[in-house]
Amino acid sequence: MKLTKKLHSCVQLEKDGHTLVIDPGTFSEPDAGLGADALLVTHEHPDHFEEGRLRAALEANPAARLWTLRSVADRLAAAFPGRVHTVGDGDTFTAAGFEVQVHGELHAVIHPDLPRVTNIGFFVEDSLFHPGDALTLPGRPVDTLMLPVHAPWNKVAEVVDYLREVKPRRAVDIHDAYLSDLARPIYDGVIGALAGPGHERLAAGDATDL
């Protein structure tokens, strides 16, 4: 597969002439979902789910399909009958030739006073795991981990411990729109020093082969 990092938590995967996009939200490029044959959305928060971007992608490609949890699917299913699929923890499916497994149920705790929304992670091609907004353990070896590096719900110690526990061959930062360029070297240094080799950062638009 080819991985292209988009802004924030959005990533694009390409394989055998097909394109899959995960989490084209408000912080991602306006055209992040366009050209996708399959779209996956981890949860309903706007930095991961932007309805207009999904509608544009589904309208641009009548063969495109969306897989997501119920809170997002309910917003789009009526407009795109038969093309929006609701999935949850433990489900497996094929999306435009990509084999996908679903892991996780709940968003990480932001604050005890705030209700937790649902959140699912996607394991693609037995290789890449995108956990959305949770430090979900997939319970199996991970080649490439999309690592939520900075969010209102985490701290760097949790990021390091998560990386140590998952033990991927490589980890690529996502959920990074909140970090300024001044702060990035601090995170890079701490995570790299404490979590071991394999941690890397891709700028938006950069691509790598998996």
pLDDT digits (tens, 9 = 90+) for 140-156: 999 999 999 999 999 99
The Cα 6–Cα 9 span in angstroms is: 7
CATH code at 145? Answer: 3.60.15.10
Number of separate domains in the chain: 1
Checking if the pLDDT of 200 tops 90, the result is yes
Nearest to 91 by CA among 83, 100, 82: 100
21-33 mean pLDDT: 97
The Cα 20–Cα 3 span in angstroms is: 10
Q: What is the pLDDT of residue 52?
A: 97
Tens digits of residue pLDDT in 63-118: 999 999 999 999 999 999 999 999 999 999 999 999 999 999 999 999 999 999 99
Tell me what percent of the residues of the chain surpass a pLDDT of 70.
100
The DSSP secondary-structure symbol of 166 reads: H
144-172 mean pLDDT: 96
Q: What is the pLDDT of residue 196?
A: 80
Q: Hey, CA dihedral for 138, 2, 133, 145, is it positive or negative?
A: positive
The Cα 27–Cα 147 span in angstroms is: 17
Range of the domain at 15: 2-209
Kindly report the pTM of this predicted structure.
0.97
Checking if the pLDDT of 197 tops 90, the result is no
